[in-house]
Chain A
Amino acid sequence: MERKKQYYNTITRRLLIAFFCLSILPITSFAWIMKNSVEETNIFKLQELAKSTIEHRAEVISRFLDDKINLLSSLESLFSQEYLFSQANVERIFLAINRTGDIVDLQVIDVAGNQHAYVGPYRTKVEGKNYNDAPWFTETLISGIHVSDVFSGYRNTPHFVVAVTNSLKSYVVRATINSSMFNALLHSAQLGPNGDVFIVNRKGELQTPGLLEKNTLSIEEKQLLSFDNISNSLVTGTDVYTTRWIHNGHWLLVLRANIKDSLGYYLRLRNRIFLIVIGISFVAIAAATYVSFALARNFERSDKEFAALGLQFSQVEKMATVGRLAAGIAHEINNPLQMITNQAGWIGELLPDEDPAQIKNLDEYLHAVEQIKHHVRRAGTITHRLLGFSRKMTAQQESVQVNDLITETTSFVEREASYNNIHIVTRLASDLPTTMTDGPQLQQVLLNLVGNAIDAVGKEGEVTITTWLEPPDKIVVECADTGPGIPSDNLPHLFDPFFTTKDPGKGTGLGLYISYDIVKKLGGSIAAANRKGGGAVFTIVLPVNRFRRQG
């Protein structure tokens, strides 16, 4: 039993695993693959977009710087040194070129570092200042052009310096450019609300504050500085970085695009898909569990039915074999019995011829002969019943109302039963149809069952006979008693010939065997069981035959 249970558990487990592999695993892996590939595609696209954006911005900024340099260069080529050394002239020029307002101040300095003209807000501070020692001044004189990093200086606003010298290197024109102009130029390059664009120099100092107003670089951003390629890109867990060196490699334009920003729609979609997948998985698990358990239970039930059927079949087979065996034995016994009765009869014939005076015990002999005959008769009765002599199965077929038969049968035993306080209750279905069957034979069966029931109850109890019609065409007769019931060891042998629990000499053990045989020959079946509340119940199922059976 335990092993069987284990077997069905194994089936359930295997089914569950199979269902899991067939439903949840594919869904999950499909979702996983989709998630990854869509994410990768999105990042790739974002990278492409960032690259083209930064390309464009780099160009704009370069042009801005070139613009300023060109402006200063054209100043020194348009005007003579004398003209530029005049404060009034420079003021006029400043007004002309500074329509946009991005030039903070304009200075003209001679080779010796002396300032000749200054236009701008800090005139008092720079008045008479010598720039000869300033590194930027030296650099300008050497390379002709200087563009500084962004610094605040005493101007207190971020700015940077552009300085050019003339071809003869006799003076320097220097302009301070408000670097907040860069912010305006970079603003349009921002990709998403968490994206950022900024410029850093080689030392990692921010040249523009960045759109998100931050002051320091993250580790990843510092790492970007170590790349020397003109343009580069880096993907971190949260961001896509694209960089481009501008201004002859002095400045690095960095564009940071937040993956979450651009993946917003995708992420929402992904979450929804996850929810759906989880939902489907739950449903699938529930369904798989239900189906697995249901299937295993079905297996178990059909196995049980099959086993019961097998048992029933072997019972039928056993009864047939036992029947044949009994008949064979009965036959073999009949011949010797015939001889015994003949010999006894012969003695009985001859004894009266003897002289009574010569035989002392004549009466005893005659009595013995009678006894021999009596016992042979008894043995003969048993063999005859076994052989079916008393039940000719060319049985007469007549229309029988089983209910009437039961009423008649119970009337035979009612009186005897009432002596022992046994009450016979009949619950007969009023709609029971008549059937073509052998009434007397059936009555013999009923009498047998009721008799057994009364014997089983012994004293004080009840025997209940119930009939009903089992649609479409089966008559069921149930005979239940309130006796001690049938020990389960006896149940399989109940219908065997010579099986009896009654005292020796009281029962032949043929009653139920013959009942079984009769019912079977009438086309029905008989079964015994124990009632839940105690006592035994015998059930006869008979077919409703509407026409005389042929043969």
Chain B
Amino acid sequence: MKQFDVLVVDDEAEFRDLTVKILNKRGINARGAESGEQAMEILRHALIDVVLLDVKMPGIDGIETLRQIRIQNPLVEVVLLTGHASVESGIEGMKLGAFDYLMKPIELDPLLEKLSFAYEKKRLHQEKIELAQMKKHMAMPS
């Protein structure tokens, strides 16, 4: 599996830390953020491929965070995680451009699978952009 960077955003420390630990063990560069604000801060400086985002959080919630990520880092893929009844919030998140949403409880393997699909999508997308840029450079040599 290719190495990629994941940001786990969840207000519940136990879940966040454990998930980060497991992901790291599986060879994924993961780090945690305890709130939407902190996540935005990290995204501004660090290179992140996929964000695992809890929908229900104190402060700015998952949906709002997602909205800001789309503006600030449009290439970053977001996977929503909800323990909440509201399928609607999952659907709303998808409409806002989330890659997918997962319902708690989710086991490790499906989670990993979903995250790598998200990364794959992001990678392909990025490749296309790079290809286009290359074409641009080749068409217009400086």
Contact = CB atoms under 8 A, between A and B. Distances in A.
Interface of A: 327-328, 330-331, 334-335, 337-343, 345-346, 348-350, 373, 376-377, 379-380, 384, 387-389, 392-394
B18 interface: yes
A338 B87 contact: no
B25 A349 contact: yes
Contacts of A328: 85
Interface residues of B, number: 20
B114 interface: no
B104 interface: yes
Contacts of A377: 107
Interface in B58-99: 83-85, 87, 91
Interface string B1-26: 00000000000101100110110011
B87 A342 contact: no
Contacts, number: 67
Nearest to A341: B105
Interface in B90-142: 91, 103-108
Contacts of B108: 341-342, 345, 348-349
A335 B91 contact: no
A330 B85 contact: yes
Contacts of B21: 346
B92 to A, nearest CB: 11
Contact of A335 (B25, B83, B85): B83
The residue among A337, A342, A389 with the most chain B CB atoms within 10 A of its own CB is: A342
Contacts of A380: 103-105
For the complex of A and B, 3 pairs with smallest distance between CB atoms: A337-B105, A345-B108, A334-B83
Nearest to B109: A345
Contact of B105 (A334, A346, A349, A387): A334
B83 A342 contact: no
Given A327-B85, A342-B108, A389 B103 contact: yes
Contact of B18 (A327, A334, A343, A388): A343
B87 A388 contact: yes
B104 A338 contact: yes
Contacts of B106: 338, 341
Contact of B91 (A337, A345, A392): A392
The residue among B26, B91, B103 with the most chain A CB atoms within 10 A of its own CB is: B103
A337 B85 contact: no
Contacts of A342: 15, 18-19, 22, 108
Contacts of B83: 331, 334-335, 338
26 contacts: A327-B85, A331-B85, A334-B83, A334-B103, A334-B104, A335-B12, A335-B104, A338-B104, A338-B105, A341-B106, A342-B15, A345-B107, A346-B21, A349-B26, A350-B25, A373-B107, A377-B107, A379-B105, A380-B103, A380-B105, A384-B103, A387-B85, A387-B87, A387-B103, A389-B103, A394-B91
